[in-house]
Amino acid sequence: MTNDDYAVENQIMPTPTAANRAEGKPASEETAPDVMNVLVVDDEENILRSLKRLLRQEEVSVTITDSPAEALDLIKQQEFALVLSDQRMPDMQGSQLLEKVCELSPHTGRIVLTGYADTQAAVDAINCGKVDRYLSKPWDDDQLRLVVRDAVKQYKLAAHNKKLQAQVMKQLVELRMLNSRLDKKVVAQTEEATTLNTKLEDSFKASVQVMANLCEMHSSLLGSHAKRVSQLSQSVAETLGVTDEETLFQIEVAAMLHDIGKIGMPAGLLEKPEGMMTTMEQELLKSHVEQGEAILRTMPNLEEAALYVRHHHERFDGMGYPDKLKGEPIPLGARIIACVDAYDKLLNPRQGFESASAEKALKNLQNRCPDEFDPVIVEALRRCILANGTPTAQTVEMEIQPQDLRTGMVLSRDLVTVRNKTLLLPKDTVIDAMQVVRLSKFLAVDPPAGGVFVYRQQAAVDSEDLVAS
């Protein structure tokens, strides 16, 4: 945002009033159902106008106000997907305003705009859980639009989950009403009630699957990783002697959805190595455990699974997050998921063509005991893998740049160009030396549509090595 932008805004737009601030529409005009409401609060009218103009390109209805008190009144009157507030205002600090917004509308996204001198106050507000993130002034237009887009997407997801919860609760009420009317003399109704109960359970499982599919849609890596972690976590729990069906179900769901909190985050952030992330990006990534817990708590009877999701990044030595729990106080399900999550990432790394064998992955986990992982869980994982025969990691695909193609790689998808939609090579083609040279030159002019995807073969484990480890 430049000073010229501010000047233009001041010349061409009159001072807005409370009646005409919502996208230039009358206050009584209803917003389209698919358009989310965004509230912008700042004591400087030129900034309000600039932000409103910037967000016109997004599918949102923007309401602006220079009064924190008016903002709170608006929150009480209608739903907002996001509140974007300046930090330094004469009547009320932005962080204080967003704390009140959190009390009135917990699912509304909360972002604070701050100058350099106010950065620490914004960080403190984020750490207290009342502010989702902050943006520095002057802001980058593209970054601000992306942040607003992600916040609205997260709000839509929460609203969708709330709708699913209402549907499930409605079915529960209907089932209970039916059960209360059952007459012992009407035996035939028992079969009907059983059928309804089965449908209810199926509906609940379908809701869980919908959420898992959201992970898959946001990132195929997240989706396939979650499925493998869910299956193996159940097996490890059974190896540890867990027999209660409800506990096993909670572990299954938590493992399937342990990364659900990441679906509102940019895909580029999820693919970025943690060592290359900024401090802000690391904090954003860490917030996925609390976001995931919040999502699961919107669904009935998943309180235990929500707890596992919150704590699956705790360390056994107490140096993890978000609550720095140490040892046995970390829920068993969370300890299992933490171990299996790390094991699967070693077998299926996001970067690099080579990956660890199961043997090396287990040795890696054993070397990180008891600092990161519970030694009992790691031993159960080893016995679980041994009991299931000679395990191998899944063959998965990875996306590479055209210049990174090497002889012997195998295409996991058709290679098609963007410009002419030309099929260069079909799926399962083994790349030879001549093709490496030709493709590098051709794709530099007409790049591939959707990237270049190749199979990554995983190494098998020698069962004798597992016995000895």
CA 395 from chain centre, in angstroms, equals: 24
For position 10, what pLDDT does the model report? 38
How many angstroms separate the CA atoms of 452 and 437, rounded? 15
d(CA 335, CA 371): 12
Task: Look up the pTM and report it.
Answer: 0.50
The per-residue pLDDT for 450 is 62
Q: What is the rounded CA–CA span in Å between residue 231 and residue 83?
A: 40
Structural domains of the chain, with CATH: 3-139 (3.40.50.2300), 154-387 (1.10.3210.10), 396-464 (3.90.105)
Strands 415-416 and 423-425, bridge-based pairing: antiparallel
Nearest Cα to 124, choosing from 156, 82, 163, 93? Answer: 93
**What is the C-alpha separation between 404 and 426, in angstroms, rounded?**
18
- Please tell me whether residue 66 adopts helix, strand or coil conformation: coil
What one-character DSSP code corresponds to residue 339? H
Residue 185: predicted pLDDT: 59
User: What is the model's pLDDT at position 67?
Assistant: 93
In the 8-state DSSP scheme, what is residue 417? Answer: B
pLDDT of residue 16: 44
Amino acid 381: pLDDT: 95
Rounded CA-CA distance 25/19 in Å is 8
CA 14 to the chain's CA centroid: 41
pLDDT score for 216 = 59
Quick one: tokens of 81? 């997907």
Could you tell me where the DSSP H helices lie in 181-302?
188-218, 220-239, 245-256, 267-271, 279-286, 288-297
Distances in whole angstroms, Cα of residue 2 to Cα of each of 9, 50, 116, 127, 288: 11, 10, 17, 31, 34
DSSP-assigned letter for residue 414: -
DSSP state of 396: E
Tracing tokens 């100058």 back to the chain, one arrives at 115
Per-residue pLDDT, 357 = 77
User: What is the structure's pLDDT at 4?
Assistant: 43
Question: Can you give the pLDDT of all 469 residues of the chain as single tens digits?
Answer: 443 443 334 333 333 444 344 444 433 334 444 688 999 999 999 999 999 999 988 889 999 999 999 999 999 999 999 999 998 898 898 888 999 999 999 889 999 988 765 667 667 667 665 788 888 888 999 999 998 998 898 888 888 888 888 888 888 787 777 766 665 556 666 676 677 777 777 777 777 777 776 665 555 554 467 888 999 999 999 999 999 999 999 999 999 999 899 887 886 787 778 888 999 999 999 999 999 999 898 888 889 999 999 999 999 999 999 999 999 999 999 999 999 999 988 887 765 555 567 888 899 999 999 999 999 999 999 999 888 743 444 556 677 777 778 888 888 888 887 777 778 888 888 989 888 888 888 887 777 766 688 877 654 444 444 443 4
